[in-house]
Amino acid sequence: METQEKRTYIINKCYKLLLLKGFDGVSISDIQKECGVARGLLYHYFGSKEDLFYEVVSKVTLPKFYISCEDTNNMNLRETLNYIYYRYYEICINDELKGISLLNFDFLTYRATQENMSIRAQYEEGQAQELKILKIAIEQSVANGDMETDVDHNELALFTTSLISGIWMNSLYEGDIDALFKRLRDVLSLHMTLLKHK
């Protein structure tokens, strides 16, 4: 197995371990056993356990939730929110997060953004991109006549991302993916109703 291929293999295996056991619950021995590699090779590739964890967040976790403008091109707000909803749900199902503590998933990202400046910058870029996409979608809805609003588009985009983040944060201790996404769907539906979006 080539070096980059081996690194990617270890990163992906470590991601699954971190979801199951959490940041502090995974040891180098766990990673060795899961990946079938020697301790020395792990340190050769990543330098430290923390560096490996940062690679997981940077290369796996954050890119999963990054949405480009091309993904939602010409969508109105309702269509964009549906796209984000189903994209996030698909990630959670494909990553087998059912039955796994959402707290492990979220804390992994949170801790990495607190300890590593480049990961924090990557996270903030993703957040800024989501705001930009929602603002464009709001403008599209207004231009299409799907919605009328006197609210500043930037403020409405910020409020909408806060709704999504708030539902996620309130569900961290439950660990029930279906309940999380039902609540998210219900809140976003109410949001559309209050905005009188067609």
CA proximity to 67, closest of 47, 51, 41, 87: 87
> How many CB atoms lie under 10 A from the CB of residue 86?
12
Which one is predicted more confidently, 98 or 58? 58
In contact, 42 and 31? CB cutoff 8 Å: yes
Whether the per-residue pLDDT at 170 is higher than 70: the answer is yes
Cα gap 136→73, rounded to integer Å: 9
Which one is predicted more confidently, 174 or 194? 194
Type of residue found at 195: L
Average pLDDT over residues 177-198: 91
List, for residues 95-136, the tens digit of each pLDDT value: 776 667 677 778 888 889 999 999 999 999 999 999 999 999
177 in helix, strand or coil? helix
The predicted pLDDT at position 174 comes to 67
Which one is predicted more confidently, 57 or 99? 57
pTM of the entire predicted model: 0.87
Q: The domain 3-56: what is its CATH number? A: 1.10.10.60
Q: How confident is the model at residue 8 (pLDDT cuts 50, 70, 90)?
A: very high
- Among 35-49, 144-158, 173-187, the range scoring the smallest mean pLDDT is 173-187
Structural domain boundaries in the chain:
3-56, 65-194
Residues 6+ apart with CB under 8 A from 145: 198
- Among 37-41, 124-128, 140-144, the range scoring the smallest mean pLDDT is 37-41
The predicted pLDDT at position 136 comes to 96
Cα gap 157→173, rounded to integer Å: 27
Cα gap 135→12, rounded to integer Å: 33
Write down the H helix ranges in 26-152: 28-35, 39-46, 49-56, 62-64, 77-94, 102-115, 117-144
In contact, 129 and 157? CB cutoff 8 Å: no
Cα diameter, the chain:
62
> How many CB atoms lie under 10 A from the CB of residue 70?
6
Q: How confident is the model at residue 175 (pLDDT cuts 50, 70, 90)?
A: low
Which one is predicted more confidently, 178 or 33? 33
